[in-house]
A and B are shown apart, each in its own frame.
Chain A
C-alpha cells in the first residue's frame, strides 16, 4: 500500500519537473525540460492509438450499420441505429453461445488452475534431476505453436489411424475404434479442452513453482518448531503466500480462455453444426462467414464489453500486487 507515497497526483499545476525523492539524477531538474518523457512515449502511444484505438472505434461504428455483402461491395454506409443489438440480444442463438462460452471458460480455467497448481507443487517437491526433466516436458508443451498443436491433436484424434482411438480400442472400448471425435458437440469440446489445458498448464505450473521458491525458508522452520505438520505448514505458509498469485493467474486465464479463437476455429471451425462456437468464433462466423459484418461487429462489441468487465477486475487485482512499481 505504499503507492500513495509516490503517486498522489501533485496538486501543483506547474510542470511535472519538481524534484522528487526518486527523480532522475538525485532530484536535479532535467535540463531538457519536462517534455522529454512525453516525446519518448509518443511513438508507442501513437502506434497504440492508431492501430488499436482506431479499430476499436471502427468496431463500434460498424455495429450500428447494416453492412452485408451488397453494402460491402458497393461501399455504402447504411446506419440502422441499434437494430443489430436488438437482433443480437433478441436472438436465442446469442444467449446460447454466451452460456456456452461461460461454461467453456469455467470448466477449462478450473482444470487449468487445478492441474497447474498440482504440477507446480510437484515441481517444488521433486529432486533436481526429475524437476529438470518435467520442466523440459512442460516447456515443450508451452512453446508449441497453437496451430501446430491443433494439427497434432487432429492427428492424435483422427478417426482412422488416430492413436487415441487405437489405445481406447486396445483398452477394451471397442466401440471407440472408429470414433469420430469432431462429429459431436461434447467430443469436439473434449478435444479442444484437452488441447487448451495441455498448452496452458505449463504456464501456471512453472510460474507457481517460481513463486514457491520465493517463500522464505525461515517460515517453514518456524512452523516446524511450532510443531506444525506438513499439512499445517502448507495451509499456513505455502497457501497464503501463493494466494495473490493464484488469484491474478486465474483471472488472466479466464480472459485468455474466454477470447480463445485459434484453438476452436482450427480444430473444427466451430462445428459440427456450429455447436462449438464460443463468442469470438460466433462473431467471426456471423460477420465474416455469413457476411453480416454489422451483426458480427455488434456481437464483438458485446464480447469486448464482457471482457472489459473481467479485465477491470483483473487489473484491480494485478495493481494491488504491482502498486509499488507503479
Chain B
C-alpha cells in the first residue's frame, strides 16, 4: 500500500523536481553574472564562492561606465542597431505586402531567395566583406555595419511580416477600399495598426541580431572609436587584467536590455519567433 502511495507521489513529484533542477541550470550563469557584478572584490576573489551578494556594491558598474570610450561604444551600438532595425522594417513592409497580398510571376522564387538569404553564412563571408569595404574605403565606419546588419535581418523580417500581413483578413482591406480608401490608405489605416504585434516580434529579432553581431565588427572596425559593445566586451577581461567583477558588470550592462526586452515581449512575440526561427 505504502509503496503505491510512494510511487504515486514519485510520479507527481519527479516532473516538478526535474523542472526545478533544469531551471537552476539554465538560470545559474545569468544569476552568476549579475551577482558577481554586485559583489565586492573580496567576495569574488575568495577561496570559497560567496553564493549571495550579501553586501552589494555598484563599484564595478562605476568602473565600467568610467572605462575609456564606454559611452561612445554604447552610442555606436545603439545607433547601428536602431538604424538597421528601422531600415529593414521599412524595406520589409513593402516586400511583405507584395508577397502576402499580390500574385505575380516569380513570387515563389522570391520567397525562396529570402529563405536562402535568411541562412546566409555571414560568419564565413567576413574576408570578402572586409575586401569590399576596404576597397570602398569605409573601414572603421558605422555605415557599412548598419547596411550589412540591415540585410542580415531583412529576410526573416520579410518572411515574418508576410505571415502577419496574410493573417489580416482581406475583407477589412476591401471594405476600406469600398469606402473610398486607396490601396495605400487602406494599408496605412487598416493593415498597419493590425501589424503592431508582428512589427514588435520582428524588430525584437532584428534588435538581438544587430546588438549581438560580432564577426563583422571584429574584422571591419579596428579603431576603438568605431567599435561596438560585443567586440569591446570580448576583450574586456584581457584589457582589465582579470577584473572579474568589472567584466561581469560589463556583461550585465550589455545583456540587460536584451533580457528585459525578451522577457517583456516573449509572450507577444513567441508566435513570431516560432514562425521565424530565431537564434538567440
Contact = CB atoms under 8 A, between A and B. Distances in A.
Contact of A130 (B16, B127, B131, B254): B16
Interface size grouping (class) on chain B: 35 or more
Contacts of B148: 51
A250 interface: no
B192 interface: no
Given A41-B98, A134-B22, A156 B46 contact: no
Interface string A198-240: 1111110011001000000000000000000000000000000
A7 B108 contact: yes
A144 B98 contact: no
Contact of A325 (B158, B163, B270): B163
A158 B49 contact: no
Contact of B158 (A44, A54, A122, A138): A44
B130 interface: yes
Contacts, number: 292
Interface stretch (B54-62, B64-72, B272-280): B272-280
A66 B58 CA distance: 53
Contacts of B120: 52
A202 B115 CA distance: 23
Contacts of A126: 15-16, 19
Interface residues of A, number: 104
B138 interface: no
- Which of A26, A143, A146 has the most C-beta atoms of chain B within 10 angstroms of its own C-beta? A143
Contacts of B166: 325
A37 B112 CA distance: 16
A58 B132 CA distance: 8
Given A130-B16, A315-B112, A24 B101 contact: yes
Given A55-B128, A122-B18, A261-B215, A151 B234 contact: yes
B169 to A, nearest CB: 13
B94 A43 contact: yes
B129 A141 contact: no
Question: Helix, strand, loop or mixed for chain B's interface?
Answer: helix
A304 B116 CA distance: 12
B128 A59 contact: yes
Interface string B260-276: 01110010001001100
Contacts of A300: 124-125, 127-128
A36 B102 contact: yes
Given A210-B274, A288-B219, A55 B110 contact: no
Contact of A151 (B24, B215, B237): B237
Interface in A119-139: 119, 122, 125-127, 130-131, 133-139
Contacts of B280: 141-146, 199, 202-203
Contact of B94 (A16, A44, A135, A201): A44
Interface in B86-132: 91-92, 94-95, 97-99, 101-105, 107-108, 110-117, 119-121, 123-132
Given A51-B148, A152-B251, A203-B280, 5 more contacts: A51-B147, A141-B29, A202-B26, A284-B219, A293-B127
17 contacts: A16-B104, A22-B103, A41-B110, A54-B132, A62-B131, A130-B16, A138-B26, A143-B280, A144-B255, A147-B254, A151-B237, A198-B25, A207-B274, A288-B219, A304-B121, A311-B116, A311-B119
Interface of A: 6-7, 9-10, 16, 20, 22-26, 30, 32, 34, 36-38, 40-41, 43-45, 47-48, 51-52, 54-56, 58-59, 62, 119, 122, 125-127, 130-131, 133-156, 158, 161, 163, 166, 198-203, 206-207, 210, 252, 255-256, 259-262, 265-266, 279-280, 283-284, 287-288, 293, 296-297, 300, 303-304, 307, 311, 314-315, 318, 325-326
The 9 tightest CB contacts between A and B, nearest first, are A143-B262, A59-B128, A261-B123, A40-B98, A44-B95, A148-B255, A137-B23, A137-B26, A37-B98
